[in-house]
Structure 1
Amino acid sequence: MADYSGAGRTDALHIENLGVDDECEKSFKELKMKRKYRYISYGIDVKSKLVKVFDKGDHAESFDNFINSLPPAQCRYVVYDHEFMKDGRKQDKLLFITWCPRSADTNTKMLYATERPRVAEWIVGAFQVNADSVGEIKDYLGLDAGSDEDIAPDDDAWLSD
């Protein structure tokens, strides 16, 4: 894993001309079109002023592996391919999760919230979700807190902000 030392705490609340590393859009298309990954974690590298891929999980990765990949005190943008059963059929939804844990630096949380619309421009076809805890992600996904079994939602209201 590359060293993104500029990806942690920041005093910047907005980055002028924030760019996107080519690998970001490429990996998103591989997840969306080819289902190559279960999740992709993106972060803002303050030093290079780029959104970069920080982590990827193969499509066979479990939900627990995805959850364990989330840093406990750093923000991330994550695209997660959620598969579930509804009416006896396997379905999937792409989620664009803005991960801002409670223990993250306040300025960093504000930076990620401010820059989210720019990142969302190229993450097309994914439902947007904000989360500051693992429990919140489980709630959005309809996962029972005591189990890793998916619970099919009655409608898609659970996916909206």
Structure 2
Amino acid sequence: MAVDDECKLRFQELKAKRSHRFIVFKIDQQKIVVEKLGGTNESYDDFAASFPADECRYAVYDFDFTTSENCQKSKIFFIAWSPDTSKVRMKMVYASSKDRFKRELDGIQFELQATDPSEMSLDVVRGRAAI
């Protein structure tokens, strides 16, 4: 599966410059491409609303939080969205190319696999970031 250069470029912008809150990726004609860029002022609800109900997607989310010691921190989450209602072939294509795509995005700290919106809720993200 080919990865469009824009995917890596936008991820570097998110990681280094913090110019995006999230990025949603999709597979289009045997290539992983950027589908949506989330602005720095967009919320987690905006991010969650970016996923189609019946199609698979990959995404990265820059999660900001404050620790119990009152330190500002950020963790980058990779989310593999594979809803039960998506086609079996689509699920297989996304599952088989996920690890290779993740290796292209250097700097991911946590991964979530979600088949239902509750599996990637903000509470789940907070729990994984251990705040």
**TM-score w.r.t. structure 2 length?**
0.90
Query: Cα distance, 1:152 vs. partner?
Result: 6.8
Pairing of 1:110-125 with structure 2 (within 5 A)? 110-125=92-107
Structure 2 residue aligned with 1:142: 126
Q: Does 1:24 align with 2:1?
A: no
Distance in 1, matches of 2:91 and 2:4, equals 21
Q: Secondary structure at the match of 1:69?
A: coil
How many residues get paired?
128
- Tell me, which stretches of 5 or more residues in structure 1 are unaligned? 1-17, 144-150, 155-161
**TM-score w.r.t. structure 1 length?**
0.74
Q: Does 1:58 align with 2:39?
A: yes
Relative to structure 1, the CA distance from residue 75 to residue 19 in structure 2 (aligned partners, 3 Å threshold; closer, same or farther) is same
Conservation of the 8 A alpha-carbon contact between 1:78 and 1:97: yes
The structure having more radius of gyration, on CA atoms, is 1
Q: Does 1:153 align with 2:130?
A: yes
Q: Which has the higher helix share?
A: 2
Pairing of 1:1-150 with structure 2 (within 5 A)? 18-45=1-28, 47=29, 49-87=30-68, 88-126=70-108, 127-138=110-121, 139-142=123-126
Distance in 2, matches of 1:110 and 1:21, equals 20
Deviations 1:72-104 (A, max 9, x none): 111111011011121122211101111111211
Query: Cα distance, 1:71 vs. partner?
Result: 0.9
Query: Cα distance, 1:36 vs. partner?
Result: 0.6
TM superposition outliers: structure 1 runs of 4+ over 6 Å: none
**Identical-residue share of aligned pairs (%):** 36
